[in-house]
Amino acid sequence: MNIYYNEKDLNSYLEHLKVNNKTIGFVPTMGALHLGHASLIEKGLQQNDIVVVSIFVNPTQFDNQEDLVKYPRTLEKDTKLLSRISKTKITVYAPTVEDIYGEHVQSTSFSYDGLEHEMEGRFRDGHFDGVGTIVKRLFEIVQPDKAYFGEKDFQQLMIVKKLVEKHHLPVQVVGCKIHREKDGLAMSSRNMRLKAEYRKAAPFIYKTLNAAKEKFGVSSANKVTKWVENQFANHELLELEYFIIANVDTLKTVKRKSNNNTYRAFIAVYADDIRLIDNIALN
Ligand code: PAF
């Protein structure tokens, strides 16, 4: 499997593909790959001649330095997983911070028409500026035909679509369903850091989302939100940061539901010092 550590080497390889009219799928990741990533890559392989997987823990999207330091870095294990998927059609791009940012490790400020002020944007200062900065930079380096993002980070997916629209970037953004463990926990690179008792407790998040979905059929958004908050107030290990029922187009918290709109519930929970997010379509 090809692995490139800098833009120049990756570019000479990609040039050769483009001259031969090969299509390029792109899966940006921060490594610590799991089956959720594998499903994005497999979709990419079905729709393109080759898939570039970037592995880069992007410093500018972390609002919490400890989270950045502790973020799992498992390049060797990651490349093993990738070579089990395909030895010939996957290319890894694992740049250094310097290759991406040069001397100034800082993000550009983006406006995503208000999407950035909701949920993750509200609780993680500067997060979506960091995401926009790295995704735009990676799109410019890789120049993919299609790029794949998981719905677990639903707000990120919408923000990337907005980034592409506003900056006229020539790439099609493809959203992919959330991949879950057998017990319902949404797959995430952070799951591997959960201590056993927290890992055991974590499926409560998806269980609660499912129950909220059922309640939303017959109750107001406000009542469902209060109910979820109570479930977590009584929980010994999991601490709720937010539960929000939002309109999928604006991501604004719903005040009164209407039959013409589509809603989704979003949740962020601390399991010890590990922050987990999830979401579910409600209608
Ligand atoms: O979803 C992620 O892993 C990251 O936010 C991304 C898209 C790779 C940008 O660093």
Residue pLDDT, tens place only, 135-181 = 999 999 999 999 999 999 999 999 999 999 999 999 999 999 999 99
Per-residue confidence band for 279, with pLDDT thresholds at 50, 70 and 90: very high
Torsion sign over Cα 74, 75, 80, 83? positive
- What are the two backbone dihedrals, phi and then psi, of residue 149, each rounded to the nearest 5 degrees? -135, 140
All CATH 3.30.1300.10 domain ranges of the chain, comma separated, are 189-281
- What are the two backbone dihedrals, phi and then psi, of residue 61, each rounded to the nearest 5 degrees? -100, 0
Per-residue confidence (pLDDT) for residue 2, from 0 to 100: 94
10 Å Cβ neighbour count for 225? 21
How far is CA 70 from each of CA 130, 158, 191, rounded to the nearest angstrom?
A: 18, 27, 12
End-to-end CA, the chain: 42
Separation CA 242–CA 237 (nearest Å)? 16
- 276 Cα to the center of ligand 1, angstroms: 15
Per-residue confidence (pLDDT) for residue 178, from 0 to 100: 98
- Ligand 1, residues 153, 160, 171: which to mutate, most atoms within 8 A of Cβ? 153
Measuring CA to CA, which residue among 27, 83, 21 is closest to residue 49?
21
Instruction: Give the torsion through C-alpha atoms of 212, 175, 69, 121, to 10 deg.
Output: -60
- The answer to whether residues 175 and 264 touch, using CB atoms and an 8 Å cutoff, is no
Per-residue confidence (pLDDT) for residue 248, from 0 to 100: 97
Separation CA 123–CA 276 (nearest Å)? 13
Separation CA 201–CA 192 (nearest Å)? 14
Q: In which element (H, E) is residue 132 found?
A: helix 127-142
Q: Looking at domain 189-281, which of 3.30.479.30, 3.30.1300.10, 3.40.710.10, 1.10.3720.10 is its CATH number?
A: 3.30.1300.10
Q: What atom of ligand 1 comes closest to residue 29's alpha carbon? A: 8
Structural fold of domain 2-176: Rossmann fold (3.40.50)
All CATH 3.40.50.620 domain ranges of the chain, comma separated, are 2-176
> Tokens 């463990």 correspond to what residue?
181
Q: What atom of ligand 1 comes closest to residue 28's alpha carbon? A: 8
- The answer to whether residues 152 and 178 touch, using CB atoms and an 8 Å cutoff, is yes
Catalytically annotated residue among 16, 34, 37, 235 = 37
45: tokens are 């392989």
Residues 6+ apart with CB under 8 A from 70: 193
Separation CA 90–CA 38 (nearest Å)? 11
CB hemisphere CA count around 231 (13 angstroms): 20
The stretch 128-140 carries a mean pLDDT of 98
Spacing of C-alpha 269 from chain mean position: 16
- What are the two backbone dihedrals, phi and then psi, of residue 59, each rounded to the nearest 5 degrees? -60, -30
Q: What is the DSSP string of 216-254?
A: HTTS-HHHHHHHHHHHHHT-SSEEEEEEEEEETTT-PBP
10 Å Cβ neighbour count for 6? 15
pLDDT in tens, 13-33: 999 999 999 999 999 999 999
Mean pLDDT of the chain: 97
- pTM for this model (two decimals): 0.97
209: tokens are 């989302």
Is 16 labeled as catalytic in the residue annotation? no
Pocket of ligand 1 (CB under 6 A): 28-30, 58, 61, 131, 134-135, 153, 156
pLDDT in tens, 66-89: 999 999 999 999 999 999 999 999
- Ligand 1, residues 40, 68, 74, 134: which to mutate, most atoms within 8 A of Cβ? 134
